[in-house]
Structure 1
């Protein structure tokens, strides 16, 4: 075998190289290591010249690499190896002072030099590419969750708490490289809390307490939450929603310190995802409430009558109830209250009457305000005359309104399904007629 090509001539032929260069002589003994290799590996000694490859590095050299070098020495065979296939080809680290850190992801090519003057080992570090790929996969998983749950936000049967619990489970399942700990607070109570182990639960509870007690607000609270998370090896934050009664506390951590993802970027993406989905669900809740409820009294509105009537009829068909009744309520001389005391006082009377109607309902009963001073109640399995008298008495009890003692009586008509009518219009018409006879 000829003499080795001069090192400076050989390196000049590579141009600008990002990665490692190792040159062996014709017998497979060490001749040269470039600075990149020295910066990413622990060497047995700086006197590596003439040493076998496996006696130069502190740490294991892959047998596959050693076999490839022997193949190049004996039969001029070239070989390319990848970290993904052959773990730990060489003991290379991102920081050679931290040998416990994750080894670099590299590809290695073993190539005989021209005229068999020696062997070139080229090392390409693709750790950053792997990191980007992991981050892209994580981002794709979060985007899919966001798309799926934007659609689910309009599901009226799914409460905000159930909605949040569902997509947090999805994040935990689909983005398996992180632990997600999240608490959703509505008013003064956490309505949902996700945690994996006791220390993280304590972190959420402590932050929740600070939010409830209002010991800290705004940036001061955010800084405190960030600090508390760092103490437990996590990234944490408070999520503020447009509905001021709703707050979120988020903390995430890598499943392993060796995982090659950016926790700060991941935190931002998860935080934005949770914020956007909860905001979307809150908006749908508000829109749904406005579409089905009377804005003054909080009772259901006329538009919701048909749906509730169909639900009662379905319960009857399924024999969950024996019968149900519809009560039509009209306040007596309500116009006189508006004329004498003003509409502001009249509105307060309506709110008071609605409160008394609500207090007369059982769990499965429903009440509606369908007009100015007209209300409807649907109740199952009730004796109508007894309930009518009870409700009249409750509505007519005196109360204070702007310093005045007020009292309002009512006329109430009742119709039963299916005896008095087979559809909603027939029941309302009959109950309305009976109510007017009382007037």
Structure 2
């Protein structure tokens, strides 16, 4: 890895520089309510069930409970909030439309096996080898594309009404730059509320669903059923969240200034995510993964306490029993979500840029340019490869695999540099 980074400081591991954690300024009681911001900011978890046909209330409950399970297994160290993985939208949509939700649950239960096997593989490799396989020249671009791949989602939503989207974005900027104390911390909430209110005069808010929804209701939990076809359809996509999980954990660690690949470690984190996914699938929820919005919230608010994340998870699980909350989330206009998304997704991308800069990745080296270029273009371009048997990989998975292979195969030094070294050695021998 040292060949990818200028080692004037003799560092052999990624550099983690953390701004101050503002959560130390709040009491436990205040943090309980700060967790509501995480809940609201993570309202994007409803996108996956809406797109593929799962129950939204069940997904809210599973995201909340799944996050708590992840935090428990992961020793409560990583401030990560879990939500549905976008990697499974396509196969889930087909299975749910043709076979029903229970069979989709059965297929998702087997996803945990991939998490466990991948965790075992990383355990056997060890942390040092993980850093060798994922040096900053790889992790930086991967973190960048975590945000860039969502850019289209944010812009698409914003383009439905640019005035509302830009005003919402403007509120977020003003609050984050000029706000003080609790006001600054509540950037996301204030932007969403402000954008929501601005949307009303434009006729973008439909209150009918909110008014019709009851105050209390039990989510429609379902039991899984198993079918080989459903399992085969879902299995190929399982590698995607496993690879993405590594980038997400590194992104969270870079944001808060801690190396979570060492403590609690990637194997434990993957195992925890697998446990959360298993419980979610058994109840009728999606496969769970760390959402990129989570990193954006951390970067914007600078509240890094895992306790706040757990409070947000509890709030989300409780709101699953309040159909009005689900209806309220559904009523948030897309331009408002897009306006906030521009900031959140941009923050994630900026964390990737910061990773490259702080680790002083030398882009004068052709190898580093090639590795970073391949990751960025393959991921943002949405490259997809279909293999024999109908198995397909695309986007983040292909980009990460390509970057890893190129980094391991390509020589660290160019032909000219090797020739100069050879001449220097020959001259030294002659002397």
Structure 1 and Structure 2 fold alike (TM over 0.5) = no
TM range (shorter): under 0.3
TM-score scaled by length of structure 2: 0.21
**Structure whose alpha-carbon radius of gyration is higher:** 1
More helix as a share of residues: 2
More strand as a share of residues: 1
TM-score scaled by length of structure 1: 0.20
